[in-house]
Amino acid sequence: MNFPSKLIENAVEELAKLPGVGRKTALRLALHMLKHESEDTFSLAEALVKMRTEIKHCKHCHNISDTEVCSICSNPLRDRSMLCVVSDIRDVIAIENTAQYKGLYHVLGGVISPIEGIGPSDLYIDALLERLPGSEVKEILLAISPTMEGDTTAFYLTRKLRDFDLRITTIARGVPVGGELEYTDEVTLGRSIVERTAYGKV
């Protein structure tokens, strides 16, 4: 693609580095910025730079935070006997949006994936094990996506956690709410039968 201006070409190339943004989309975004107030572009650029420079990771749970200790870890109303282990910050946001969980979190920063060269030492697993002695944690809820890598990570964690006197739980797997039985894959449907719960339990 030939651009009439070096300035727009640079902007398009930088935008196209973002995930899911190709050169056509990048051009559309750049032209959108040119059509609108320059203040809009400045405040976007400022918000991005500010986020990238000032954001911290909570020293306890490794969630992103504006402060040394995140708003969840420092909240006195949170149940400190419960620790939910997730792979990613996005999972914290997803679980928080359900409003069904009142405990603390621990973000691993990924899952074990030999193909991508990510081993246990690349994740905050040691940090999790160091966090437990002397803490009030009684239950660890593993909320890791049920993929091959996620299950491997969960299995590794249960082996590491068995020396502690803890209840280890995992999120329920089954037919999604609103899902249709006939379109549910066999493994999920099979597990939903094996792990059936008493009717009207929730």
Provide the binding-site residues for its own copies, judged by CB under 8 A: 1-8, 10-11, 13-15, 17-20, 25, 27-34, 38, 40-55, 63-66, 70-72, 88-90, 92-93, 96-97
CB of 40 to its own copies, least distance (A): 7
CB of 20 to its own copies, least distance (A): 7
Q: 82 forms bridges with which residues in the sheet?
A: 139
CB of 155 to its own copies, least distance (A): 25
Helix (H, G, I), strand (E, B) or coil at 146: coil
Question: Which tokens is 11 given?
Answer: 């902007």
Q: Looking at beta carbons only, is 42 or 164 nearer to its own copies? A: 42
**What does the alpha-carbon distance between residue 63 and residue 57 come to, in Å, rounded to a whole number?**
5
What is the bridge-based pairing of β-strands 103-107 and 79-86? parallel
Q: Looking at beta carbons only, is 176 or 200 nearer to its own copies? A: 176
CB of 159 to its own copies, least distance (A): 28
Q: Looking at beta carbons only, is 6 or 196 nearer to its own copies? A: 6
The secondary structure of residue 176, as a DSSP letter, is P
CB of 164 to its own copies, least distance (A): 26
- Return the amino acid letter for 131: R
Per the CB < 8 A criterion, the answer to whether 58 and 70 are in contact is yes
CA 174 to each of CA 32, 131, 153, 193: distance values in angstroms, whole numbers, following the listed order? 44, 31, 20, 8
Q: Looking at beta carbons only, is 14 or 136 nearer to its own copies? A: 14
Q: Looking at beta carbons only, is 62 or 137 nearer to its own copies? A: 62
